[in-house]
Amino acid sequence: MTLALKILEDEKAKVFLPSSFSPNNDGVNDVLQLYGENIQEFNASIFDRWGGLLSTSTDPNNIWDGEANRSLVREGVYVIVIQYKLSEDQSPRYLSQNITVIR
């Protein structure tokens, strides 16, 4: 299977967020994470398509493991909203995009 991968990029901050991940415990791409440097005051929220909050995280290296209420979510599209600051400028930054869970 070929995956199309879109990466959301904050060019000024050099921060990257994949648009999909596969939390299937195979050791590859099992958690959603933000890639970047000097990230501080990080907060992420994951929502289902009806706006229900599924998960929150303050760890950019482990944003979401694909679980909600201690159960794996179904394959599909979810929404992530991230607020963070960088150590060099302390200005609040925001990212929001769809995240696809693939099994």
| pLDDT tens track for 16-60 | 899 999 999 999 999 999 988 888 889 999 999 999 999 999 999
pLDDT of residue 2: 46
Burial of 64 (0-12, 13-18, 19+ CB in 10 A): buried
pLDDT of residue 89: 81
pTM of the model as a whole: 0.82
Q: What residue ranges do the domains of the chain occupy? A: 7-101
CA–CA separation, 68 and 64 (whole Å): 9
Instruction: Choose the CATH number for 7-101 among 2.60.40, 3.10.20, 1.10.10, 3.40.50.
Output: 2.60.40
Our measurement of the distance from residue 28's CA atom to the centroid of its chain's CA atoms, rounded to an integer in Å, reads 16
